[in-house]
Structure 1
Amino acid sequence: MSITTTKLSAAAGLCAVAAGILFIGVQINHPHLDANFAVTGEYLFRQSLKLVMAVLSLIGITGIYLSQVRKIGVLGLLGYVIFGAGYLAMMCIEVMGAVVLPTLAASAPGYVNDVLAVATGAKAAGDIGMLAGLVTFSGISYLTGGLIFGIAVFRAKVLSRWAAALLSLGALATAAIPLLPFINERLFALPLGVAMIGLGVSLWRGQRAAAVGSRPTVRIGQP
């Protein structure tokens, strides 16, 4: 089996699809985050899925960017870098959430509750140090990067334009969550997840079509 850029790009598309499905699925019936929940098996399972989602998303957007690097321009590069930084920060937060917080839940429940509150967009009662800055950076870079990257992909006209538009609109809608306190913020994962699925399918189909079109034609009677 030979490894080609077409196959790698197609695999990146599938990673984006899987990331979108996980992003939506992990929000379903999500319990309230606090120190009591942080010591349960369900919490560890959900944190693990979030970490896998962040890794797959980073692979997916890398494939999306590289598949149209000549057309997506400087705006696309800017969006990719910021969006990717958001996912990298998210990965760090999810690792700490899975490994560190459960060990502190019994001895420092107030700190754990504050970290989880900040992670969900609420205010902490105490000081959680530089972790608050990391969470803020993750949120801003994720939403800003998603907005810019979606616009760049839409303008490039290579992959699904509706999915690119939904990515940008989903990022804008998520940024408006503080203005909509009575709406469940986890509902805003739906458009972003669907956008990742749409872009991933579009990338996978494009690479599959390119692979089929590049196969040599064998004519009967030729040596």
Structure 2
Amino acid sequence: MEITTTTLTRAAGLAAMAAGTLFIAVQVKHPEITVDFIQSTQWKVRQGMKIAMAALALAGIAGMYLRQVRQSGVLGLLGWLLFSLGYLAMLCVEAIGLVVIPTITQSSSEYVNGVVALATNRGSSADLGLFGALNGVQGLGYIVGGLVFGVALYRSGVLARWAAALLAVAALATLAPLFLPVANQRLFALPNAIALIGLGWSLWREQRAAAVPPATTVDAPLDPAGAR
């Protein structure tokens, strides 16, 4: 198979759609995060899904940016860098949650309880060290980066504008659980997931259309006898 720019861009579109689909799947019937849940098999499965989602999202948004790098300008570059930073930090946080946190639930219960409190938006006095800072980078990149990148995509007008607008709105909606304590914070992940699917589909469809060679019309040879 020949690897071309069009092929890679279409693959990025598929990656974004897969990331959005995984994002939705992870939220379905997600149990409350507790110390007991962290030690379960279901926790490992869901963490693995989150890691795959973050990695696929990084590939997807890179393809979106490269497709309209000239149209989006400095705003697009800033949005892409911040949004990528958010997903990269998310990848690290979820990887730590998979391979580290379950192994220290007995030896460092105070630390684990602090991580649980952080994940559920409850206050904690535990010293989480750089993990707390990493989680903050994740939130900053995800919210600010998603907003700026969504605006840049919308202004460029290359990909589906409704999905770009939804991405920007979804970034701001992520803050809602901080002001609405009774709200289910997982519901606010759905708009971002739908936006990723929509943008990925738009990117894949556009590149698929570009890969199809235009139809050519071949004129039949003129019959000398009929030309008389």
Report TM bin, short chain. Answer: over 0.9
Unaligned runs of 5+ in 1: none
C-alpha contact 1:18 1:53 (8 A) present in aligned 2: yes
Residue 31 of structure 1 deviates from its aligned partner by: 0.8
Residue 216 of structure 1 deviates from its aligned partner by: 7.6
Tell me the equivalent position of 1:21.
Answer: 21
Residue 219 of structure 1 deviates from its aligned partner by: 4.0
Match runs of 1:127-142 below 5 Å: 127-142=127-142
C-alpha contact 1:159 1:199 (8 A) present in aligned 2: yes
| AA at the equivalent of 1:202 | S
C-alpha contact 1:35 1:105 (8 A) present in aligned 2: yes
Tell me the equivalent position of 2:153.
Answer: 153
Give the SS at the match of 1:26.
helix
C-alpha contact 2:15 2:200 (8 A) present in aligned 1: yes
Give the SS at the match of 1:80.
helix
Q: How many residues align?
A: 221
Tell me the equivalent position of 2:172.
Answer: 172
Moved more, 168-177 or 115-124: 115-124
Identity, % of aligned positions: 52
Residue 110 of structure 1 deviates from its aligned partner by: 2.5
Tell me the equivalent position of 1:124.
Answer: 124
Show CA shifts across 1:109-165 (max 9, x none): 221121122133322242111211110111011110000000000000000000000
| AA at the equivalent of 1:154 | Y
* Structure 2 Cα separation of the partners of residues 216 and 66 of structure 1: 28
Tell me the equivalent position of 1:99.
Answer: 99
Show CA shifts across 1:34-63 (max 9, x none): 221111110000000000000000000000
* Structure 2 Cα separation of the partners of residues 4 and 217 of structure 1: 23
Given the superposition, is the C-alpha separation of residues 39 and 212 from structure 1 closer, same or farther in structure 2, using an over 3 Å criterion? same
Residue 175 of structure 1 deviates from its aligned partner by: 1.8
| AA at the equivalent of 1:5 | T
Give the alignment's Cα RMSD to 1 decimal: 1.6
Tell me the equivalent position of 1:58.
Answer: 58
Of structures 1 and 2, the larger Rg is shown by: 2
Give the SS at the match of 1:107.
coil
C-alpha contact 2:9 2:207 (8 A) present in aligned 1: yes
Tell me the equivalent position of 2:225.
Answer: none
Tell me the equivalent position of 1:73.
Answer: 73
C-alpha contact 1:36 1:105 (8 A) present in aligned 2: no
* TM, length-normalised to structure 1: 0.95
* TM, length-normalised to structure 2: 0.93
Tell me the equivalent position of 2:113.
Answer: 113
C-alpha contact 2:54 2:90 (8 A) present in aligned 1: yes
Give the SS at the match of 1:199.
helix
Runs of 4+ displaced beyond 3 Å: 215-222
| AA at the equivalent of 2:159 | L
Tell me the equivalent position of 2:204.
Answer: 204
Residue 217 of structure 1 deviates from its aligned partner by: 4.3
Tell me the equivalent position of 2:226.
Answer: none
| AA at the equivalent of 1:34 | T
| AA at the equivalent of 1:4 | T
Unaligned runs of 5+ in 2: 222-228
C-alpha contact 1:34 1:112 (8 A) present in aligned 2: no
Correspondence 1:163 to 2:163: yes
Tell me the equivalent position of 2:4.
Answer: 4
* Structure 2 Cα separation of the partners of residues 74 and 203 of structure 1: 21
Tell me the equivalent position of 1:188.
Answer: 188
* Structure 1 Cα separation of the partners of residues 89 and 41 of structure 2: 24
